[in-house]
Amino acid sequence: GAVVSQHPSWVICKSGTSVKIECRSLDFQATTMFWYRQFPKQSLMLMATSNEGSKATYEQGVEKDKFLINHASLTLSTLTVTSAHPEDSSFYICSATLAGHQETQYFGPGTRLLVL
């Protein structure tokens, strides 16, 4: 149980285009989802915390107008990278937690984004 999926697993796009990444909890309802970005040989950096039905909370330094997060249901959160540029190329990972169990994070498999 507690499986999180991400789609797509990898994407290549041209500079200036927008890319949407989906994060789904397949067998549980996730009240909170987190979006991380991981550059090569670096750690996971939290971008934003997403709660169902409310606006996402962005970490300092993360542009909310560039990284649009929508958490419309208890099983789906989306991250849209708007007007992507080569420096946005990274590994994007989401995670989800159950209500009342904030400790345990269930990670998605990640989405590798390459912006040309």
Partner 1 sequence: GENVEQHPSTLSVQEGDSAVIKCTYSDSASNYFPWYKQELGKRPQLIIDIRSNVGEKKDQRIAVTLNKTAKHFSLHITETQPEDSAVYFCAALSHTGGFKTIFGAGTRLFVKA
Coil, strand or helix at 88:
helix
Closer residue to partner 1, CB minimum distance, 2 or 82: 2
Separation CA 106–CA 31 (nearest Å): 12
Contact 65, 71 (CB under 8 A): no
Closer residue to partner 1, CB minimum distance, 44 or 76: 44
25, 17, 82, 16: which is closest to 50 by C-alpha? Answer: 25
The stretch near partner 1 (CB under 8 A) out of 16-24, 73-81, 82-90, 107-115 is 107-115
16 binds partner 1 (CB under 8 A): no
**How many residues form the binding site for partner 1 (CB under 8 A)?**
22
The strand pairing partners of 69, in sequence order, are 79
Contact 31, 97 (CB under 8 A): yes
The stretch near partner 1 (CB under 8 A) out of 14-22, 41-49, 64-72, 74-82 is 41-49
**What is the per-residue binding string for partner 1 in 74-93, x denoting contact by CB under 8 A?**
-----------------x-x
Coil, strand or helix at 51:
strand
111 binds partner 1 (CB under 8 A): no
- What is the binding site for partner 1 (CB under 8 A)? 32, 34, 41-46, 49, 57, 60, 91, 93, 102-105, 107-110, 112
